[in-house]
Chain A
């Protein structure tokens, strides 16, 4: 039998607005329980929702960034279910007329993962189950979400990872969400099925995944579990699953028999929203550069593909790098120093995402410009940068004016001659074919210049001198 993995995603992204979707309560994460609540978001009788403009704007941005069509006339619907995380016993969401439809995200391979729709809705409260009780915090209730539904176009765990990472990066670039999976501001429901010789199989849905690594593992586990059932002649049962991070296994939350029947109907407390085309055009015109566009621009500046990828992974890094470029720093040296020296000092993903440095981009740009102008060599720039990362401060605290005279070609020539004269044994070794011996002269030149000489240029001079 020929099995093929078929996977689609439903991704919830919390929008970074100041207030909730239907009331003025704060959306700030980490407050004391039930302190960001009012009659609207706790569902008190008689209270009425009022839609937040920014939620619609952010969702339009998300739609435009993923090549969606924006529906200029859109309304909200009630999704009914009874559970303690919803004080109204319904969630205000969108059913038949989502704000955005028919988009895609392109993977590096060129393959496109279709985006079926993006709709706006309110988040539910947070439940904690302990002993005989369920504890409820409604601070999260009413926080704006977009739900991004993909087509079942994902056919490997690697594609799943890339899809999630790309989506996360796009949302961060356009500034609609911080997409912190560990804090729950981005969560994925993952559908998994196996098609057999082109015939679609029964799918299961793994709920609420909040780590890219776990998503990959869950898909691998679930695909293997389904394969085993099918190969044993059994049938996969449609079910909602939870992934146990400790055991790396999926288990059943509910089967098709308990499937929800949401009885959607148009939300009578809210008006249908009409978005003029000029507004959509205006939002499109003010969109920040997307990851693909940024990467292309960096490549055009002569940065290696590897460095461009490493820079584009983090929005804060790009902001820093762009500020350096604005201060006239050379792109290649700046990229090399960021990806090499600065990344080494920021080991975790979170560190790089935050990119909190003890000096400004303009100060870093000064250092880069010294390298660009040949006033210091790259090694000295790396050493200086490492010190600046530890202690902060200005470049002038580390490199004095008198250090910046630079080494002229004539000076370099005479230094090389001195170096060869001072070490005749190494010169003989080099001439006898032991080319590694050239390193002995580098040490001499570095000491003599306090690290200011351009070693690559010195190497050229030395090779010429030694072959004469």
Chain B
């Protein structure tokens, strides 16, 4: 299945990924393979779908949902330990102009 370069650029932008020109070409091949694989699933079930279980086949009853009780959270140092932080806040390069 052919993917337009433009579509890939759009997806990359949505996913916050940057590709150089060559990288994009290479990624395009791999991506087409992935889409072809998924497409295969579509073809496989195109005929009889009665045996395919839909999203809503795995259910939970209202009563079995979690009770609303607050539990202790993690220590802030632990929460922040995997990222850049300052004064208790995570920090990233400014995202608005």
Contacts and interface: CB of A to CB of B under 8 A. Distances in A.
Contacts of A131: 94
Nearest to B96: A129
A263 B14 contact: yes
B55 A276 contact: no
Given A133-B94, A134-B94, A134-B95, A82 B89 contact: no
A275 B70 CA distance: 24
A271 B93 contact: no
A18 B67 CA distance: 10
B43 interface: no
B79 interface: yes
A143 to B, nearest CB: 12
Secondary structure at the A interface, as helix, strand, loop or mixed, is loop
A275 B66 CA distance: 14
Interface string B32-49: 000000000000000000
Contacts of A107: none
Contacts of B60: 51, 271-274
Contact of A80 (B14, B67, B70): B14
Majority-rule SS of B interface residues: mixed
B56 A272 contact: yes
B76 interface: yes
B67 A134 contact: no
A462 to B, nearest CB: 64
A24 B62 contact: no
Contacts of B14: 80-82, 260-261, 263
Contacts of B96: 129, 134
Interface string B1-43: 0000000001000111000000000000000000000000000
Contacts of B62: 53, 56, 273-276, 279
Interface string B59-97: 111110111111101101001100001111111111110
Interface residues of B, number: 37
Interface stretch (A29-37, A147-155, A449-457): A29-37
Contact of B91 (A18, A133, A261): A133
Contacts of A73: 56, 59
A17 to B, nearest CB: 5
Interface in A29-60: 32-39, 42, 50-56
B59 A272 contact: yes
B68 A54 contact: yes
B79 A138 contact: yes
Given A53-B66, A276-B62, A34 B89 contact: yes
Nearest to B60: A271
Residue with the greatest number of chain B CB neighbours at <10 A, chosen from A17, A55, A136: A136
B73 A136 contact: no
B79 A135 contact: no
A254 B94 CA distance: 17
Contacts of B16: 82, 89
B16 to A, nearest CB: 4
A374 interface: no
A315 interface: no
A51 B65 contact: yes
B70 to A, nearest CB: 4
Interface in A49-91: 50-56, 73, 75, 80-84, 89
Given A51-B65, A135-B89, A35 B56 contact: no
Contacts of B56: 73, 75, 272
Given A135-B87, A261-B10, A266-B55, 9 more contacts: A24-B69, A35-B79, A51-B66, A53-B63, A133-B92, A134-B93, A136-B91, A136-B92, A279-B63
7 contacts: A18-B68, A34-B76, A53-B66, A127-B95, A135-B90, A261-B10, A274-B62
Interface of B: 10, 14-16, 55-63, 65-71, 73-74, 76, 79-80, 85-96
Interface pairs A-B: 10 shortest CB-CB: A24-B71, A53-B65, A54-B68, A135-B89, A136-B90, A271-B60, A82-B16, A272-B56, A266-B55, A26-B70
